[in-house]
């Protein structure tokens, strides 16, 4: 219906939008046809300083990214994408929108400029963006959780009940606590997605720039009932945090809202038409869910090294209920007008990669070369092939997927992984299969947690690397969850979601549901539960739940 509507209005003229997806390592620019979501052109650029390992310390779990990495990579990615278009097609681009990792904040001066862009802080990692996976602020997160517990207002009621070291206030507090020069210079902070939008529209002024509802609600304890946490609350953490409050925000905006027009300066730099609509941005997984045609009753899973799980539900369905133990529920964080829910597993594909790493240990004793590279390259494929030679049984090896701690339900960085049911006959493929099943059990645990809180889940939509390259994993997931799983065809669902919001901000569609209906990607594969395996996995899942209890006792 929407398609017809659109075609009636627009059929004489092509229009394009551009979605810009900032991942952990690179920026992708995706030019999309607003009529049908066709992916017209794409460009990718890796962050040059990050690629060279600058400003990071893996031992200390410190991961920082220089703002110039973002600017340079985006410029390059956009220029590459539009190099595939004719001048007329470039001129038909009418909107843009950003998604980024999150929470990835930077401290700024009074003008909203990340401190690393000032000459005196250009090389100070504390002046840069603090990447989502930076874990330097573990102690500060504990401090925040303790303070929330003793304060009158439960700022965490909509964030799952536990504040993470990965989230903005922990990170800002850690830098303030440990770097006096930065502490003296910092006047505010900005999330990566908001800074990009502000930069493009010429409005990075911290007290007036457009802030993403998604990042604010899921990561910064913002809620429409109270705004950000109060000055009193922040002062107890550190007086400098309370000082920032006048240069922060009380209002937030959902994606699809037009934050402004592309400035002439940036239009020239990136090669896009001046004045095109720039939409309010959001965190990548949330945009990915939109790109995967999110809807009530569908669990959207972004499955890669870890997972991010996104749900939406109508406000009237949720009412006043708060769902504990997840990464938050925010009005409009995914789809305006719906409550968005975020959950996830701390490790998914990373667990397979870990096992490959363990099995690769003896390969250090053979000389580098083509043979060794081939073994390492094919190892997961061969393990999969061997694992599929036998069927799961109730006496199989069974594992617990907490090798990187637990994200949801009930975040806990201190729990660890297990492998049980081992015999002298347990082979490497047996263990690999158990690890695949463990990641699926962890997925089921999340779905059951949400269902127990009254959220309806009928099926799963999957995006991300694993969903496309690991059919064995996906089939196991369907069998364990006892739900059909659809893999979305788009390779760039996050950028596609951003492009949909760009189309809304540009006025092509009246709302995001219309954009999804016209621009949504189709499904490239559907995995249906196998009834025999479903039954076996019911039993193995009971063992998995038993292991979760054990792991809490053996930390």
Query: Considering beta carbons, is residue 267 or 545 the nearer one to its own copies?
Result: 545
Residue 258's H or E segment, with its range, is: strand 258-261
Query: Considering beta carbons, is residue 417 or 497 the nearer one to its own copies?
Result: 417
Q: Answer yes or no: are the C-beta atoms of 357 and 428 closer than 8 Å.
A: no
Q: What's the rounded Cα separation, in Å, for the pair 87 and 18?
A: 15
DSSP E strands, 116-198: 129-130, 188-191
Query: Considering beta carbons, is residue 203 or 413 the nearer one to its own copies?
Result: 413
| Least distance between its own copies and beta carbon 39 (Å) | 33
Beta bridge partners of 45: 27
| Least distance between its own copies and beta carbon 131 (Å) | 17
Query: Considering beta carbons, is residue 26 or 376 the nearer one to its own copies?
Result: 376
Contacts with 267 (C-beta within 8 Å, 6 or more apart), sequence order: 273, 274, 275, 276
| Least distance between its own copies and beta carbon 138 (Å) | 14
Query: Considering beta carbons, is residue 232 or 382 the nearer one to its own copies?
Result: 382
Query: Considering beta carbons, is residue 238 or 416 the nearer one to its own copies?
Result: 416
| Least distance between its own copies and beta carbon 384 (Å) | 13
Query: Considering beta carbons, is residue 54 or 551 the nearer one to its own copies?
Result: 551
| Least distance between its own copies and beta carbon 536 (Å) | 15
The full DSSP string for 485-526 is EEEES-S-HHHHHHHHHHHHHTTSSSSHHHHHHHH---EEEE
Q: What's the rounded Cα separation, in Å, for the pair 511 and 313?
A: 17
| Least distance between its own copies and beta carbon 401 (Å) | 10
| Nearest Cα residue to 70 out of 129, 150, 147 | 129
Which spans of this chain sit near its own copies (rule: CB under 8 A)? 347, 350-351, 354, 357-363, 365-366, 371, 374-375, 378-379, 382-383, 395, 398, 403-404, 416-424, 426-429, 431, 543, 546-547, 549-551, 553-555
| Least distance between its own copies and beta carbon 422 (Å) | 4
Q: How many CB atoms lie within 10 A of CB 121?
A: 21
The full DSSP string for 179-204 is -HHHHHH--EEEEHHHHHHHHHHT--
Query: Considering beta carbons, is residue 233 or 352 the nearer one to its own copies?
Result: 352
Q: Answer yes or no: are the C-beta atoms of 522 and 491 closer than 8 Å.
A: no
| Least distance between its own copies and beta carbon 419 (Å) | 5
| Least distance between its own copies and beta carbon 284 (Å) | 21
Query: Considering beta carbons, is residue 87 or 361 the nearer one to its own copies?
Result: 361
Q: Token pair of 138, please?
A: 């573990």
Sign of the dihedral defined by the CA atoms of residues 527, 529, 533, 534, in that order = positive
Q: What's the rounded Cα separation, in Å, for the pair 15 and 439?
A: 42
């Amino acid at each position: 219906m929407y398609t017809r509507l659109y075609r009636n209005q627009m059929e004489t003229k092509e229009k394009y939008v551009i979605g810009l997806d900032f991942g952990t390592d690179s920026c992708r620019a995706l030019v999309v046809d607003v009529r049908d979501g066709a992916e017209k052109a794409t460009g990718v650029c890796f962050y040059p300083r990050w690629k060279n390992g600058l400003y990071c310390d893996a031992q200390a779990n410190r991961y920082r990214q220089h703002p110039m990495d973002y600017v340079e990579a985006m410029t390059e990615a956009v220029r590459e994408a539009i190099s595939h278009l004719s001048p007329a097609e470039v001129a038909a681009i009418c909107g843009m929108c950003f998604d980024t990792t999150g929470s990835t904040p930077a401290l700024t001066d009074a003008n909203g400029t990340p401190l690393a862009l000032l000459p005196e802080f250009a090389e100070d990692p504390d002046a840069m963006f603090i990447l989502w996976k930076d874990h330097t602020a573990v102690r500060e997160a504990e401090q925040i959780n303790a303070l929330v517990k003793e304060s009158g207002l439960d700022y965490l009621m909509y964030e799952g009940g536990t504040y993470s070291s990965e989230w903005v206030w922990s990170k800002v507090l850690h830098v303030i606590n440990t770097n006096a020069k930065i502490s003296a210079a910092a006047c505010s902070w900005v999330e990566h997605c908001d800074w990009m939008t502000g930069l493009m529209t010429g409005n990075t002024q911290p007290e007036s720039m457009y802030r993403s509802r998604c990042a604010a609600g899921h990561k910064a304890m913002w809620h429409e009932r109270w705004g950000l946490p109060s000055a009193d609350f922040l002062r107890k953490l550190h007086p400098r945090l309370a000082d920032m409050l006048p240069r922060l925000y009380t209002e937030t905006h959902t994606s699809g809202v037009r934050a402004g027009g592309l400035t002439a300066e940036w239009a020239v730099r990136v090669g896009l038409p001046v004045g095109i609509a720039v939409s309010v941005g959001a965190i990548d997984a949330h945009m990915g869910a939109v790109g995967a045609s999110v809807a009530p009753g569908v669990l959207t899973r972004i499955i890669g090294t870890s997972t991010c799980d996104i749900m939406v539900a109508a406000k009237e369905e949720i009412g006043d209920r708060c769902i504990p133990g997840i990464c938050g529920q925010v009005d409009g964080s995914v789809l305006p007008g719906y409550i968005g829910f975020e959950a996830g597993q701390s490790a998914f594909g990373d667990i397979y990669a870990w096992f490959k790493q363990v099995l690769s240990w003896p390969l250090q004793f053979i000389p580098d070369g083509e043979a060794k590279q081939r073994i390492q390259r094919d190892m997961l494929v061969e393990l999969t092939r061997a694992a599929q030679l036998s069927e799961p049984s109730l006496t199989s090896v069974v594992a617990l997927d907490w090798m990187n701690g637990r994200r949801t339900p009930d975040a806990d960085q201190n729990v660890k992984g297990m492998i049980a049911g081992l015999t002298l006959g347990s082979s490497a493929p047996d263990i690999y299969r158990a690890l695949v099943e463990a990641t699926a059990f962890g997925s089921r645990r999340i779905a059951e947690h949400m269902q127990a809180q009254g959220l309806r889940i009928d099926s799963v939509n999957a995006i991300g690397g694993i969903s496309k390259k690991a059919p064995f994993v996906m089939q196991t997931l369907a069998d364990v969850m006892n739900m059909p799983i659809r893999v979305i065809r788009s390779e760039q669902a996050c950028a596609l979601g951003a492009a949909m919001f760009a189309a809304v901000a540009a006025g092509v569609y009246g709302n995001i549901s219309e954009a999804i209906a016209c621009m949504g990607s189709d499904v490239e594969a559907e995995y249906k539960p196998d009834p025999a395996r479903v039954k076996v996995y019911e039993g193995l899942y009971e063992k998995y739940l038993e292991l979760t209890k054990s792991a809490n006792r053996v930390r």
